[in-house]
């Protein structure tokens, strides 16, 4: 017998970030990106859904290639429900980071509420696990006019 009120895989739903916990893996986010998303939400823009997998009744994990970290943080700041698509366990690998075999000791999940919003004014950050190529690094420093 199916549990009542249990969300269905593939279902579009909205998460109240004051009632559930959403985990990601990115530790810091740009204040400029977050600010722009907060303004979009305040202006009534409909942000795209991000894909999540359900860990348990009140916990979810971001799994999309694009992560959804910025959208999730912006929704948390504005107290706006987060639009998500609940992804079936057998499809998680298709949509992103794929939690199967993920090294949670080396790369532990982080509660979205604990993400640091960093001052990104003029900064260039190279992510250790995904460094920019030399060409992309040069392009990011020297603008093409």
In the chain, where the domains are located: 12-120
Q: What is the pLDDT of residue 121?
A: 61
Q: What is the pLDDT of residue 87?
A: 82
Whether domain 12-120 has CATH 1.10.150 = no
pLDDT averaged over 10-residue windows placed end to end, the chain, 145 residues: 53 93 87 90 93 90 80 93 86 57 73 84 45 44 44
The reported pTM is 0.71
CA distances to 78, 110, 111, 112, 115 from 39, in Å: 9, 25, 23, 19, 19
Give me the sheet containing 21-24, strands edge to edge. 12-15, 82-86, 50-56, 59-62, 21-24, 110-111
* Cβ count within 10 A of residue 116: 10
- Which of 97-104's residues contact partners 24+ apart within 8 Å by CB, and which partners? 97/25, 97/62, 97/63, 97/65, 97/67, 98/63, 99/53, 99/61, 99/63
Burial (CB < 10 A; 0-12, 13-18, 19+), residue 85, is middle
């Amino acid at each position: 017998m199916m549990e009542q009120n249990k969300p269905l895989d593939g279902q579009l739903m909205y998460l109240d970030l004051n009632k559930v916990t959403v985990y990601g893996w990115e530790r810091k986010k740009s204040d400029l990106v977050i600010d722009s998303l907060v303004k979009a939400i305040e202006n009534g823009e409909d942000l795209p859904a991000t894909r999540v997998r359900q860990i348990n009744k009140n916990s979810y994990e971001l799994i999309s290639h694009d992560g959804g970290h910025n959208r999730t943080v912006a929704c948390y700041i504005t107290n706006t429900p987060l639009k998500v698509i609940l992804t079936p366990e057998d499809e998680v690998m298709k949509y992103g980071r794929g939690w199967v075999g993920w090294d949670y000791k080396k790369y532990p999940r982080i509660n979205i509420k604990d993400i640091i919003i960093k001052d990104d004014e003029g900064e260039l950050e190279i992510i250790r696990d995904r460094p920019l190529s030399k060409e992309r690094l040069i392009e990011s420093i020297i603008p093409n006019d």
